[in-house]
Amino acid sequence: MGIIPLILWLIQDLLYIIIFPGLVTILVVVVIIIWLERKIAAKVQMRFGPLWVSKKIGGALQSLADLLRYSFQEVIIPEKTDKWAFILAPGLMFAFATIALIFIPVGPYYSVLFPSYYTILFSLALIIITPIFAITVGWASDNKFSFIGALREGFLLISYEIPFLLSVVSMVIIFHTYDYINAVQNQLSFLPGIILNPLAALTMLIVMIRTTGRFPFDITEADSELVMGLFTEYSALFFGVGMATPYVELYNFSLIFSLLFLGGWWPFTLNVMNPVYGLILPGIIVVVKAFIVMAVLVFLRAVYPRYRLDQAVRSGWSYVLLLSILSVILSVVEVMFLR
Partner 1 sequence: MSEKVYNIDDLQNINVEGEKYIILQIGPSHPGSGHMRLKVWLDGDIIVKVDPDIGFVHRTSEWLSERREWIKAVPIVERIMLPDTVHANLAYVLTVEKLLGIEPPPRAQYLRSLVAEINRITSHLYGIGIFGIFLGSSTVYMWAFGDREPFIDLMEMLTGARITTSYIIPGGVRWDLPNGFKERAETVLQYMERRLKDYEDIWVKNPVVQARTINVGTLKKEDAIRLGVVGPNLRASGVYYDTRKHHPYAAYSNLDFEVPTMKNGDSYDRLLIRVEEIKQSIKLIRQILKDIPEGKIIADQIYNQLNPVMKKNYEEKKRVMFPAFMIHMRPPAGEASAKVEAGRGEIFFYIKSTGDKYPYRFRWVTPSFRNLPYFTHVTVGHRLADLPTIYGSIDYFPPEADR
Among candidate residues 216, 195, 203, the one with its CA nearest the CA of residue 168: 203
Nearer to partner 1, 176 or 308 (CB): 308
Kindly report the CA angle at 24 between 18 and 27, in degrees rounded to 5?
140
47 vs 41: CA distance, rounded Å: 8
Among 8, 223, 288, 319, binds partner 1 (CB under 8 A): 223
206 vs 116: CA distance, rounded Å: 29
Site membership for partner 1, residue 218 (CB under 8 A):
yes
Residues 30-49 touching partner 1, rule: CB under 8 A, are: 41, 44-47
Nearer to partner 1, 265 or 307 (CB): 307
Nearer to partner 1, 45 or 71 (CB): 45
Buried b (16+ CB within 10 A) or exposed e, 39-68: bbbbeeeeeebbeeeeeeeebbbbbbebbe
Residues 226-245 touching partner 1, rule: CB under 8 A, are: 227
Residues 127-156 touching partner 1, rule: CB under 8 A, are: 144-145, 148
- Minimum distance between the CB of residue 157 and partner 1, rounded to whole angstroms? 16
Nearer to partner 1, 148 or 171 (CB): 148
Task: Give me the phi and psi of 195, to 5 degrees please.
Answer: -85, -35
Residues 198-217 touching partner 1, rule: CB under 8 A, are: 215-216
Per DSSP, the residues of 13-65 read HHHHHHTSSSHHHHHHHHHHHHHHHHHHHHHHTTS--S-STTGGGTTTTHHHH
How many residues lie near partner 1 (CB under 8 A)?
28
Nearer to partner 1, 219 or 259 (CB): 219
Number of H helices, E strands in the chain: 14, 0
Site membership for partner 1, residue 307 (CB under 8 A):
yes
Number of Cβ within a 10 Å radius of residue 161: 17
Residues 43-82 touching partner 1, rule: CB under 8 A, are: 44-47
Among 181, 184, 206, 219, binds partner 1 (CB under 8 A): 219
Site membership for partner 1, residue 189 (CB under 8 A):
no
Cβ-contact 147, 125 below 8 angstroms: no
- Minimum distance between the CB of residue 225 and partner 1, rounded to whole angstroms? 6
- Specify the stretch interacting with partner 1 by CB under 8 A; choose among 55-63, 174-182, 224-232, 262-270: 224-232
189 vs 89: CA distance, rounded Å: 43
Q: How far is CA 149 from the centre of its chain?
A: 20
Site membership for partner 1, residue 274 (CB under 8 A):
no
Q: Is 74 exposed, middle or buried (0-12, 13-18, 19+ CB in 10 A)?
A: exposed
- Minimum distance between the CB of residue 285 and partner 1, rounded to whole angstroms? 33
Nearer to partner 1, 1 or 46 (CB): 46
Binding site for partner 1 (CB under 8 A): 41, 44-47, 144-145, 148, 215-216, 218-219, 222-225, 227, 301-311
